[in-house]
Structure 1
Amino acid sequence: MAGLAVACSPPPAATTETPDAPAVSAPGVDDAQTQLLLNVLQPVVADEVGQPVSLQPTTVNVRDEWAYVDAQVRNGDGTEINWTTTNLASRYENGAMDTGGGVHALLKNENGTWVVLEHVIAPTDVAWIDWASRHGVAPDILGLPSN
Structure 2
Amino acid sequence: MFLYGQIVAGDGGKLDYSATPFADAAANGLKTDTYAGLFQASGGDANQRWTRVDSAIGPTDLAWSDWAVRYAAPAEIFDTR
User: TM-score band, normalised by the shorter chain?
Assistant: 0.7 to 0.9
Distance apart, 1:86 and its partner CA: 2.5
Q: Structure 2: where are the runs of 5+ without partners?
A: none
| Backbone CA RMSD of aligned residues | 1.4
2:36 counterpart residue number: 104
Give the Cα–Cα distance (whole angstroms) in 2 for the partners of residues 95 and 77 of structure 1.
23
Give the Cα–Cα distance (whole angstroms) in 1 for the partners of residues 15 and 58 of structure 2.
12
Distance apart, 1:142 and its partner CA: 1.1
Q: Could you report, residue by residue, the CA deviation over 1:53-74 in whole angstroms, capped at 9, with x for unpaired residues?
A: xxxxxxxxxxxxxx11111111
Q: Could you report, residue by residue, the CA deviation over 1:81-101 in whole angstroms, capped at 9, with x for unpaired residues?
A: 122232210111122213xx1
Give the Cα–Cα distance (whole angstroms) in 1 for the partners of residues 15 and 37 of structure 2.
19
Secondary structure of the residue aligned to 1:84 is helix
Secondary structure of the residue aligned to 1:74 is coil
What are the within-5 Å matches in structure 2 for residues 85-104 of structure 1? 85-98=19-32, 101-104=33-36
Distance apart, 1:117 and its partner CA: 0.6
Identity %: 28
Secondary structure of the residue aligned to 2:8 is strand
Distance apart, 1:119 and its partner CA: 0.7
Give the Cα–Cα distance (whole angstroms) in 2 for the partners of residues 93 and 77 of structure 1.
22
Q: Work out which of the residue numbers 16, 40, 49 in structure 2 matches 1:113.
A: 49
Residue identity opposite 2:50 in structure 1: W
Give the Cα–Cα distance (whole angstroms) in 2 for the partners of residues 138 and 102 of structure 1.
21
Residue 131 (1) aligns with residue 74 (2): no
Q: TM-score, normalised by structure 2?
A: 0.83
Question: Where has structure 1 moved over 3 Å in runs of 4 or more?
Answer: none
Give the Cα–Cα distance (whole angstroms) in 2 for the partners of residues 129 and 135 of structure 1.
11
Q: Give the number of the structure whose residues are more often helix, by fraction.
A: 1
